[in-house]
Amino acid sequence: MSEPSDDEEEAPDESWMATFADTITLLMAFFVMLLTFAEFDIPAYEELSSALANTVGGREAQTTTQSLKIDVQDIVYGMQADQAVQVTSDEKGVVIDLDANAFFQPASAELVLAAIPVLTKLSETLASPNYELYNIAVEGHTDDGQISTDKFPSNWELSSQRASSVVRLFESNAVERSRLQARGYADTRPKVPNRDLQGAPIPENRATNRRVVLRLHPMSIDERDAYLRAQEFKLQQEEAAQRALAAKGPSIAERLPIQPTPDQLTDGQRQIKLALDNVIRDAIVRAKGGRNLTNEDIAELQTEVDQLSVAREPALESYFSTLEGFLNEERNRLSSVPVSN
Phi-psi category of 249—alpha, beta or left, where left has phi over 0 and alpha has psi -120 to 50?
left
Counting Cα atoms < 13 Å in the Cβ hemisphere of 283 gives 28
Distance CA 133, CA 150 (A): 39
Note whether 318 and 292 are within 8 A (CB): no
Helix (H) or strand (E) holding 139: strand 134-141
- Please state, for a pLDDT cut of 90, what percent of the chain lies above it: 64
Q: Rounded to an integer, what distance in angstroms lies between the CA atom of residue 292 and that of residue 274?
A: 24
Q: 48: which residues sit within 8 A by CB, 6+ positions away?
A: 33, 37
Say yes or no to pLDDT of 110 above 50.
Answer: yes
User: Cα(72)–Cα(93) distance, rounded to whole angstroms?
Assistant: 12
How many residues does the structure list for the chain? 341
Q: 183 - beta bridge partners?
A: 139
Domain ranges within the chain, ordered by starting residue: 24-55, 64-194+205-218, 252-335
111: three-class secondary structure by DSSP: strand
Report the chain's mean pLDDT, rounded to a whole number: 87
CATH for 64-194+205-218?
3.30.1330.60
Mean of the pLDDT values across residues 286-314?
A: 88
With b for 16 or more beta-carbon neighbours within 10 A and e for fewer, the 110-143 pattern comes to ebeeebeebbebbbebbbeeebbebbbbbbbbbb
**The amino acid at 146:** Q
Distance of CA 3 to the CA centre of its chain: 83
pLDDT tens readout for residues 232-249:
999 999 888 788 767 767
The pTM of the full predicted model, rounded to 2 decimals, is 0.63
CA neighbor of 91 nearest in space, from 129, 44, 136 = 44
Residue 86 three-state SS = strand
Residue 138 vs residue 5, higher pLDDT: 138
Q: pLDDT band at 128, cuts 50/70/90?
A: very high
For residue 341, pLDDT beyond 50? no
Q: How far apart are CA 3 and CA 7, in angstroms?
A: 11
Q: What is the pLDDT of residue 39?
A: 47
Q: Are 120 and 169 in contact (CB under 8 A)?
A: yes
- Whether residue 166 is predicted with pLDDT greater than 80 in this model: the reply is yes
Confidence category of residue 26, pLDDT binned at 50, 70, 90: confident
Count the Cβ atoms, other than its own, within 10 Å of residue 52. Answer: 11
